[in-house]
Amino acid sequence: MSDFVESLGPDPNKDLRASADSPAGLTNLGATCYANGILQCLYMNKLFREGIFSAGPDVLRQQPLDNGVQKDSLEFLTLLERCLSHSKVSKARTIVQDIFRGNSEASSKTEDFYELELNVKGLKSLAESLDDYLTVEELHSDNQYFCESCNTRVDDTRRIKLCTLPDVLNFQLKRRVFLPKTTTKKKITSAFSFPAQLDMRHRLSELSQFDLVYDLSAVLIHKGSGVNSSHYIAHIKDKITGKWWEFDDEHVTNLGNHPFGEGPSSSTIKSIATDAQFNQNENGGIACGANHSEIEGGLATARDGTSLPSHLYDEIHNFNASYLDACQQYSHRKELELSGITDRRKEVRSVLAEASVPPLERLFYWISSDWLRQWADNIIPTSVDNTFIQCSHGKVPVSKVTSIKRLSAKAWDNLFSK
């Protein structure tokens, strides 16, 4: 029966979330696991979500993703920023810069950044990686600085200074290193720890008079030991409940109070994460969280008060209506098929119950045992076929006596009437 039910195709009812309190996953369209993870992280940020909602329905359709090409978070943010730059709404045009853009200085040049790329080779924690990132580098010997004014190489120093920090601070851990001898890349898989809360005030080039405390809100994880073959998942904290969730494409798992489901939260977290996202904490609260829409009476409002645009509401309403219709159609087809299977089983039991021939009964019929067995096992019955046990003259030779079964006249008539 299971094979027959499988012939109906995938059951859409299995895609229904068990609870509306559980965040929704995203389908992997080929090599889009990186985009799924990043989108889940971005959606949890209320300010970013409001900006996207205001962008308009056609802006993000201008540059669709290549489903077969896997990229990284910075490339995705760059593509997103380019798409949003065409929006007629100023809030949407600058949402990426407003939330993720910081400012740094290196070699007297000031540049914007959207994430800080940190070395992890030989380093054990985020604090060590930040120290390494901001340390003064001595330029001498083969690594001398080329002075354009002197037109020669000179000894010098170089360092990166953080001038301003964004509301959401992204770190990318450089776990891929180039091996000159083999001209290949290798992934660093050593343990690396980072704090649940990060104070960046003393890491600015000029000491800030304000607190710059960030709370860990999301971790984008690169799974797999290889560099080219990989899979991305995201662990994200829900602002409202304080719970952590694992997003693995369409699969969503509740991790509890710890980013990796290892028990109660601690001040230091160990992981193999590729990227970590911190949200600025200005008033002791977590600045990022999951939001799940509740649609009632034609209005759509997230739990934190974010309103869903009418065009998105209409699109979601149509998707839901189509989905529910598919569920109902599948359930109806399944019910009909199962009802047919039940009737078929009753039919088989009825015929087999009448198959026995009384000892003194002279009227009976011979039938192929193999055919009768197949007829009883198949959902769709077939016509009586005794050709296997008959000779060329239409008779049953003695040699076939082990391959035939006697049937009563009543059972025989029932078989032919079906």
Please compute the mean of the pLDDT values over residues 117-122 and round it to a whole number: 90
The residues assigned a catalytic role are 33, 231
For 22-291, give the CATH class: alpha beta
Between 112-121, 244-253, 273-282, the lowest mean confidence (pLDDT) is in 273-282
Q: Which of 416, 301, 399, 407 lies closest to 363 in space, CA to CA?
A: 407
Please identify which residue in the block is written with the tokens 């998707």.
Answer: 319
The predicted structure's pLDDT at residue 328: 95
- Indicate if the pLDDT at residue 40 is higher than 60: yes
The predicted structure's pLDDT at residue 418: 66
- Confidence band (pLDDT; 50, 70, 90) for 180? confident
**Cβ atoms of residues 341 and 378 within 8 Å:** no
Cβ-based neighbour number of residue 255 at 10 Å: 16
Residues 6+ apart with CB under 8 A from 247: 23, 25, 26, 36, 37, 40, 233, 234, 235, 236
Cβ-based neighbour number of residue 87 at 10 Å: 20
Helix, strand or coil for residue 30?
A: coil
Q: For 357-414, write each residue's pLDDT tens digit.
A: 888 888 988 889 998 998 888 888 888 888 888 888 888 888 888 888 988 999 888 8
Between residues 273 and 55, the one the model is more confident about: 55
Q: For 1-35, write each residue's pLDDT tens digit.
A: 567 677 888 899 888 887 778 888 999 998 888 88
User: Rounded distance, CA 321 to CA 241, Å?
Assistant: 29
- Indicate if the pLDDT at residue 175 is higher than 90: no
The predicted structure's pLDDT at residue 305: 62
User: Rounded distance, CA 100 to CA 165, Å?
Assistant: 8
- Indicate if the pLDDT at residue 268 is higher than 70: no
pLDDT above 70 covers what percent of the chain?
A: 82
**Cβ atoms of residues 171 and 220 within 8 Å:** no
Helix, strand or coil for residue 342?
A: helix
Please compute the mean of the pLDDT values over residues 267-288 and round it to a whole number: 47
User: Rounded distance, CA 295 to CA 299, Å?
Assistant: 6
Distances (CA, A) of 289 to 129, 240, 243, 301: 26, 6, 9, 15
User: Rounded distance, CA 309 to CA 65, Å?
Assistant: 23
Q: For 287-326, write each residue's pLDDT tens digit.
A: 332 222 222 333 345 556 677 888 888 988 999 999 999 9
The predicted structure's pLDDT at residue 1: 57
Cβ-based neighbour number of residue 365 at 10 Å: 18
Indicate the domain borders of the chain. Answer: 1-16+293-353, 22-291, 354-417
The predicted structure's pLDDT at residue 278: 64
- Indicate if the pLDDT at residue 340 is higher than 80: yes
Between residues 91 and 326, the one the model is more confident about: 326
- Indicate if the pLDDT at residue 272 is higher than 50: no
Between residues 267 and 186, the one the model is more confident about: 186
186 strand-pairing partners: 177
The predicted structure's pLDDT at residue 287: 30
User: Rounded distance, CA 266 to CA 63, Å?
Assistant: 41
Between residues 47 and 286, the one the model is more confident about: 47
pTM across the whole model: 0.72
The predicted structure's pLDDT at residue 19: 78
**Cβ atoms of residues 250 and 28 within 8 Å:** yes
**CA-angle at 15, arms to 12 and 17, nearest 5°:** 140
